[in-house]
Structure 1
């Protein structure tokens, strides 16, 4: 599942308005939503504590000594951080290649680590909140779909890779009427999207493994905020080439590691999203790799895919990490009343800062994002020749 289905709402499971802080609404059974969450957390805590009892080493692969994009051994550390969203234990390092500028997590999460750190982010504890966030981003999804119009205004078949629950496909039908949308995801989101009617067919599994059976089946393959989650982005691009018929298009959107915000905001820049984001590909690298695979890049956008949340997200992350922790199952004990009260007071005191950051994001920075070099994402459309 991609992270916008896209980018998580700032705060994740630790939202200042999360159930369990202060009074909460009853659900009609005499039990509050806060009680339901507390029970859910309590039920999950033994499993998480059992996982953590074995230590964190098994969640990481051995560190790399060469760049996974170009093979260079000239590496330097770009960022050290923690899990600022879920607050699961661990420290994470992003290295950057001094030759091709590719940034990657090093050491990278293992299969066990990916399972542990993804758990309860898009599903479980996080499913309802993120599902509501994704469903409310129709205009953004339609804008993404319109990027293809100058090059193919009537595609017959479209595969959305990393589709999540299929909300992009549902919105894109408003732009590309008559197009059949399928979705692919390694979680059960694709199956749920099919059941909800948002996609015609939902494939669950690895794109690189499913690509042979999808060969030359699609006019369009889209990857919106998906490649940064992949363990091997070059193989995902090869799978896209295999699934697209000659003359078809791939549409890719990823965080821009060359954004000035990445440097100015440091670990508080939301698109770093550690530990889930494994790779950050500079636009020149992605253009060249697509060209090498037989694509022609027909569109490059920076201002249009910019999501104006950087200052808001950074402010929230700083506040959230200053305040005492919420009730989370990977913590050994729930917070006491005093800590819950202190958390609520600190977050309430930060509301004016959150409002100011929102206004700056939307009205001061957004119109100038590309000119200022702070666009947090870029988008490429490429034709398979």
Structure 2
């Protein structure tokens, strides 16, 4: 069976379950709206963004609020456990596994840069736990920088088990980090969280788990989207790091530094340009183009897409190729050298030592 026919058959097989999930609407996937900031408890909240799922195009509308006192940005109302399962399904695994593996597998230089961020503070860590490891591509690339380090991976999807089978991680832990932290107590020289904390329902609980898993004198390495990036305002809903509905919390760097100190860490390095991924303009152009085009077939759509809509989608995407190429060129040539000066960096990285 061809790949196209196989995908069509998989979509058809999944459609009844999605239809059943959506019969009751999407409101049941959202918890009650908060009236206070989950970071500092202030009641001074403002709406930052209202958008839809721009990647999978699953039904639903999502709101991000910002705290006027501390600047914390968070999804409000937040997805429930049932909602998280629904919106994550077929993104990193299932239908989306192959696409995501390709997208994340070819970023070796970025992964090596992340590993190198620790070298000045610990040139030869023996044990490293990558939390939110996905398919383990970071661990595989980081071994080229730290060949004597044993890399383990933790994730709540079956991607971590795939990472173990492929030999990218030495040991796979599947589940929630806070639940697994007691059995990992003081076991690791380094714990990393790359674009993981923003997915958590309770970031503070994750930081406490990290403090438990890192040995005294060991290091915690965190990389997250920067909600203070100027791209966040310039691009609006088309800024990729908003990533709704998956990103639940986006923390200004000053907030995270203070919280790490409160949790028993000392921040020894802060990086912005080094953590920047120069894809903002390309991603925004793609999201807008994909949003305009007829939908690609998916099991959460009520009916399969017909030949005419598929043809229209292909034609529209082809007309957008020059725009995408121009955006990619601007990302690499124009925006990247100016990213630090103009505060266009889309992420930041902190290295913190457990006291």
- TM category, shorter: over 0.9
1:283 to 217, 242, 253: 253
Q: 1:62-109, CA deviations, whole angstroms, 9 ceiling, x for partnerless residues?
A: 001110001111111000000000000000000001100000000000
C-alpha distance in structure 1 between counterparts of 2:214 and 2:104, whole Å: 27
Matches of residues 165-244 of structure 1 in structure 2 within 5 Å? 165-244=135-214
Which ranges in structure 2 are unaligned for 5 or more consecutive residues?
A: none
Partner SS, residue 340 of structure 2: helix
Tell me the residue number matched to 1:351. 321
User: Per-residue deviation at 1:32?
Assistant: 2.9
C-alpha distance in structure 1 between counterparts of 2:51 and 2:67, whole Å: 18
Tell me the residue number matched to 2:47. 77
Q: 1:252-308, CA deviations, whole angstroms, 9 ceiling, x for partnerless residues?
A: 000000000000000000000000000000000000001111211111000011101
Tell me the residue number matched to 1:369. 339
Q: Does 1:115 align with 2:53?
A: no
Partner SS, residue 250 of structure 1: strand
User: Per-residue deviation at 1:132?
Assistant: 1.5
Partner SS, residue 224 of structure 2: strand
C-alpha distance in structure 1 between counterparts of 2:247 and 2:46, whole Å: 18
Tell me the residue number matched to 2:278. 308
Query: Normalising to structure 1: TM-score of the pair?
Result: 0.91
Partner SS, residue 274 of structure 2: coil
Q: Does 1:54 align with 2:24?
A: yes
User: Per-residue deviation at 1:50?
Assistant: 0.7
User: Per-residue deviation at 1:33?
Assistant: 2.0
C-alpha distance in structure 1 between counterparts of 2:276 and 2:182, whole Å: 33
Which ranges in structure 1 are unaligned for 5 or more consecutive residues?
A: 1-30
Tell me the residue number matched to 1:16. none
8 A contact 2:93–2:159 mirrored in 1 = no
Query: Normalising to structure 2: TM-score of the pair?
Result: 0.99
Q: 1:226-262, CA deviations, whole angstroms, 9 ceiling, x for partnerless residues?
A: 0000000001001000111111000000000000000
Tell me the residue number matched to 1:130. 100
Q: Name which of structure 1's ranges 31-40 and 329-338 shifts more when overlaid on structure 2.
A: 31-40
> RMSD value over aligned CA atoms?
0.8
Q: Name which of structure 1's ranges 187-196 and 97-106 shifts more when overlaid on structure 2.
A: 187-196
Q: Does 1:106 align with 2:79?
A: no
C-alpha distance in structure 2 between counterparts of 1:168 and 1:321, whole Å: 30
Tell me the residue number matched to 1:329. 299
8 A contact 2:92–2:159 mirrored in 1 = no
8 A contact 2:44–2:68 mirrored in 1 = yes
| Number of residue pairs aligned between Structure 1 and Structure 2 | 355
C-alpha distance in structure 2 between counterparts of 1:205 and 1:122, whole Å: 15
